[in-house]
Amino acid sequence: MRSIPAHTDEFRLLDLSPKENNAIDWSDFLNRPALCPSAFDWSDLVAEKTILITGAGGSLGSSLALLLMDNFPESMILLDRSASNLTALHRKYESRSTIFPEIVFMQGDIRDEELLAEIFFKHRPDIVFHAAALKHLVPLESDPFTALQTNVFGTIALLQMMNCCQVEHFINISTDKAVNPTSVLGVSKRITELILLAGNSMDPKLLSLRLGNVLESSGSVVPAFLQSLENQSPMIITDPQASRYFLSMKEAAMLMIGSLGIRETSVLLPELGSPRKIVDLADFLAAKLRRNPGDQPIFVGLRDGEKCSEDLTYDYEYLEQTPVPRIRKVGGNHVPDAGDFVENLAQLHSIVMDRDRAALLGALLTLVPEFIPSPALLRCLD
């Protein structure tokens, strides 16, 4: 069976205090106000709504799902291709005391059109949070076709399916790596941003939320650093000057919900403060957990597709105020000729389906001229 329905029950509420589960308080490291604005009543944005979360078993998707469970939407469909991730999320759900009308856990891939049709025709979601993506940067440099199939054309499959019901909001999770991309991950996310902008839709609202590096997410540097501290082994860092824009998992989840307060199709950017060096993150964790880091860090150099520092906006973009505190609209973004864009996107689709290595790079550069391919990608396409 693809789905596991879960209905109202009495559950024990997890104590999420740092004392109980060794959660890390990131406020000192982030050195900025928390991105959890209190001016909005989040429950009003989701009350009596049916919500679909793709990638619900992942780090960000599961954090969002657990947060939404406290805000009482009408129902939720939690979709993820990983059975183990869904099982872990289901266990967390069962541990709660929150009374909840209905949750459906569904295992499957967003590229499965039959599954998507079942979800949209049966459950008719009002809100879609799209967190499903292949996001591990370095491996995707050698597997661009799979990355594009999921990140770009999986997103298109979702958008096409929304025509069957009255979806109000579609929140796409993007990344600062979409700005002046140097990786397959980054260029796939930028194309997805452009797809939503090309829709120029008033209803549903098509929103892309550019996030920085989410602390403690799967595949991030934090779990690797924690493992090194546990083993008292040297931490592996790419470059001593490498820096990133960071936010916590809770902030990311709350920003996704807060995006529902924006009533027009746009790219959104939270106020992420100043970038922090990776070496400072390593030192912070060692001091916070009172662990001896052992030997000095080992610097291995930037890997293919990585930047020393990220950009939050393109040179031609600018930031505008929105009704939601701490979230800005990225202005200056538009698709000049929607017809040409759709034609170029169709050509990319054919190239990806045919796994045409010779034509892929040209198609990507046509859609995102700012893209700088990595040596690993060039070797893969040679």
Judge whether 243 and 278 are in contact, CB under 8 Å. Answer: yes
Question: Residue 202 pLDDT more than 80?
Answer: no
Of 143-152, 258-267, 289-298, 330-339, which gets the smallest average pLDDT? 289-298
Of 10-19, 290-299, 335-344, 350-359, which gets the smallest average pLDDT? 10-19
Measuring CA to CA, which residue among 57, 33, 23 is closest to residue 132? 57
Q: What is the pLDDT of residue 4?
A: 43
294 residue type, one letter:
G
Structure tokens at 153: 């054309």
Of 174-183, 188-197, 213-222, which gets the smallest average pLDDT? 213-222
User: What is residue 259's DSSP assignment?
Assistant: G
Q: What is the pLDDT of residue 25?
A: 86
Per-residue buried b or exposed e for 157-188, using 16+ beta carbons within 10 Å of the residue's own CB: bbbebbeebebebbbbbbbbbbbbbbbbbbbb
Q: What is the pLDDT of residue 101?
A: 64
Q: Which three-class secondary structure state does DSSP give residue 141?
A: coil
Q: What is the pLDDT of residue 98?
A: 65
CA gap 143, 132 in Å, rounded: 17
Question: Residue 281 pLDDT more than 80?
Answer: yes
How far is residue 321 from each of residues 66, 240, 268, 325, 330, measured CA to CA in Å? Answer: 29, 35, 10, 8, 9
332-371 pLDDT, tens per residue? 988 888 889 999 999 999 999 999 999 999 999 999 999 9
| CATH numbers and ranges of domains, the chain | 3-381 (3.40.50.720)
Mean pLDDT, range 102-107, rounded to an integer = 92
CA gap 251, 253 in Å, rounded: 5
First-to-last alpha carbon distance for the chain, in angstroms, is 42
pLDDT cut 70: percent of the chain above it: 90
Judge whether 263 and 205 are in contact, CB under 8 Å. Answer: yes
CA gap 118, 66 in Å, rounded: 24
Judge whether 204 and 160 are in contact, CB under 8 Å. Answer: no
Beta-bridge partner residues of 5: 104
Mean pLDDT, range 295-323, rounded to an integer = 94
Mean pLDDT, range 228-242, rounded to an integer = 91
Q: What is the pLDDT of the chain when averaged over all its residues?
A: 88
CA gap 165, 34 in Å, rounded: 36
Of 40-44, 108-112, 354-358, which gets the smallest average pLDDT? 40-44
| Alpha-carbon 92 to chain mean position | 21
Mean pLDDT, range 209-219, rounded to an integer = 91
Mean pLDDT, range 238-242, rounded to an integer = 95
CA gap 81, 57 in Å, rounded: 8
Q: What is the pLDDT of residue 293?
A: 65
pLDDT level of residue 12 (50, 70, 90 thresholds): very low
Half-sphere CA count of 28, side-chain side, radius 13 A: 9
Mean pLDDT, range 65-83, rounded to an integer = 88
| Alpha-carbon 121 to chain mean position | 25
Q: pTM score, two decimals?
A: 0.91
User: What is residue 199's DSSP assignment?
Assistant: H
Q: What is the pLDDT of residue 47?
A: 85
Beta-bridge partner residues of 277: 243
Q: Which three-class secondary structure state does DSSP give residue 175?
A: strand
Measuring CA to CA, which residue among 174, 170, 75 is closest to residue 128? 170
CA gap 295, 297 in Å, rounded: 6
DSSP 322-345: -SSTTEEEEES---S-HHHHHHHH
* Other C-beta atoms lying within 10 Å of the C-beta of residue 377: 25
pLDDT level of residue 113 (50, 70, 90 thresholds): very high
pLDDT cut 90: percent of the chain above it: 68
For residues 215 and 74, which has the higher predicted lDDT (pLDDT)?
A: 215
Judge whether 254 and 36 are in contact, CB under 8 Å. Answer: yes
